[in-house]
Structure 1
Amino acid sequence: MSSASKIEWTELTWNPVSGCTKISPGCKNCYAEKMAHRLQAMRAPGYENAFELTLQHARLEQPLGRRKPTVWFVNSMSDLFHEDVPDDYIDQVMDVIRRTPQHTYQILTKRADRLPRYFKTRSVPGNVWLGVSVEDRKYGMPRIAHLRKVDAAIRFLSVEPLLEDVGELDLTDIHWVIVGGESGKNARPMDIEWVRNIRHQCEDSGAAFFFKQWGGWGADGKKRSKHANGRLLDGQTWDAYPGSATPA
């Protein structure tokens, strides 16, 4: 299922895989899990298994039907590099990506250790932005080193939900950093100084900085309305993209 995305840094979502399993604290309040169960209750095609990992073969060629250059977020409802997704299925996804050079594909994973193994004998398509999730020091930060081992045109970090001060990041060869707080009724708070720390490091390293949202908490450390200054950091929005690339 492809659809217009509510994610601020992309345009459309493409889900050739759905479902996942939790592997780190960032997964605790997974929005995709909640959405999958809601879609199952609505009897939406492809969600008969709710959040069990499912290869969605019928969706593989969806981007081929769109000529307009588009930024696609791949697997907003799963993780393409989940251990139960076979290499040959990932190959099929990459084949569609190569056949649609007019599009840009953002692929984000928490299974960063699989990236250098998979791409050891394969090249990353030039229209792929490859990223890893970095929610904390213990689980998130080690993923950056795995990402850096892969030769991708754009490497990015999704620091969301940011659960603690991550300290000093090695942003060598990282082109883009997205930061966001957790949303939902059980959202964990995010301190403004944690965000500023990352922004300053992006400015020093030359990485583009994108502040996505405060989520369920405000900069003042209090629960807040999702509509109240949800993207303002120090009085402004931060919407930088790597290089000159910007979704239309």
Structure 2
Amino acid sequence: MPQKSEIEWTDATWNPVTGCTKVGPGCDNCYAERFAERWRGIPGHPYEQGFNLRLWPSRLQQPLVWKKPRMIFVNSMSDLFHKDIDRALIDRVFDVMENADWHVFQVLTKRSSLMCKYVLSRYHGGPVPPHIWLGVSVEDAGHTSRIEHLKQIRSDARFISVEPLLGPIEDVDVKGIAWAIVGGESGPGARPMHPDWARRLRDICGRDGVAFFFKQWGGARAKSGGRLLDGEEWNGFPWQVVPKPIMAALAG
């Protein structure tokens, strides 16, 4: 059975890899690390090794046996483009995603240059299958170069996750990006998000024609501050890039 997700913008998670290492300030209070380390040293637990990198070849075929179409967040507990993940394993993940084309797969990375290099090589500079959505995480103005890497990939379903939003991003060109997910940090020591930072991104998305999803304000708990921005929920979703057979199945 798929692991049902509590993440608002997906249906299920698939983790053929778990564990990661930090690459920027957005990683400082990583929720996945905090969860995994709770179980370190418990024999037989999937996170017996804590948040150390671990490959799970036995999980590779899972989406192929999930017959009901789903939005699937790939590696919610890792980063598929971590430098210590062998290309052969990444190839196998993409093989499965390509074959299980009744799902939508959402791949999110902070290692944008490595993803760009891999995808351009795999598809020879051509388009990515429309049910494979590729995205990058951006936490502040200092990491918007990840968006430029993403733009080099040919896809109508590119997306960005600006969570946690840790500082103002005064201007960025997101034309050609389908979707932006924005939210504050949650958990112990959560760093606050200024409302104007979120408003500015909402306005940039409106200017550039990008679906805008406001996930949360964050705080001690993910839902501490609710989801309202200026009194509204912002649930933008790029339905125009969902392949029609999958959209029909999801709607049904």
**2:218 & 2:221 partners in 1: Cα distance?**
9
Shift in alpha-carbon separation, 1:207–1:21, aligned structure 2, 3 A? same
Q: Which has the higher helix share?
A: 2
* Aligned position for 2:79: 79
* Aligned position for 2:122: 122
Shift in alpha-carbon separation, 1:160–1:44, aligned structure 2, 3 A? farther
Shift in alpha-carbon separation, 1:167–1:65, aligned structure 2, 3 A? same
Equivalent of residue 236 in structure 2, options 234, 240, 247: 240
Shift in alpha-carbon separation, 1:243–1:147, aligned structure 2, 3 A? same
Shift in alpha-carbon separation, 1:53–1:195, aligned structure 2, 3 A? same
1:40 Cα shift?
3.6
The within-5 A match list for 1:216-235 is 216=219, 227=223, 230-235=226-231
Equivalent of residue 189 in structure 1, options 170, 173, 192: 192
* Aligned position for 1:221: none
1:38 Cα shift?
2.1
Are 2:204 and 1:201 equivalent residues in the alignment?
yes
Letter in 2 for 1:55: L
* Aligned position for 1:21: 21
Structure 1 stretch 42-51 or stretch 176-185: which is displaced more?
A: 42-51
Partner secondary structure for residue 132 of structure 1: strand
**2:129 & 2:91 partners in 1: Cα distance?**
11
* Aligned position for 1:220: none
**2:112 & 2:211 partners in 1: Cα distance?**
21
Shift in alpha-carbon separation, 1:125–1:45, aligned structure 2, 3 A? farther
Are 2:92 and 1:89 equivalent residues in the alignment?
no
The within-5 A match list for 1:1-248 is 2-40=2-40, 43=43, 45-123=45-123, 124-138=128-142, 140-216=143-219, 227=223, 230-244=226-240, 245=242
On the 8 A contact 1:74/1:106 being kept in 2, the answer is: yes
Partner secondary structure for residue 38 of structure 2: helix
On the 8 A contact 1:14/1:75 being kept in 2, the answer is: yes
Partner secondary structure for residue 145 of structure 1: helix
1:47 Cα shift?
2.0
Q: Tell me the TM-score normalized by structure 1.
A: 0.91
Shift in alpha-carbon separation, 1:236–1:23, aligned structure 2, 3 A? same
On the 8 A contact 2:217/2:224 being kept in 1, the answer is: no
**1:225 & 1:121 partners in 2: Cα distance?**
40
**1:29 & 1:7 partners in 2: Cα distance?**
17
Q: Tell me the TM-score normalized by structure 2.
A: 0.90
Shift in alpha-carbon separation, 1:39–1:125, aligned structure 2, 3 A? farther
1:158 Cα shift?
0.2
1:229 Cα shift?
5.1
On the 8 A contact 1:60/1:93 being kept in 2, the answer is: yes
On the 8 A contact 2:170/2:200 being kept in 1, the answer is: yes
The gaps in structure 2 that reach 5 residues or longer are none
On the 8 A contact 2:136/2:159 being kept in 1, the answer is: yes
The gaps in structure 1 that reach 5 residues or longer are 217-223
CA RMSD, aligned part only?
A: 1.8
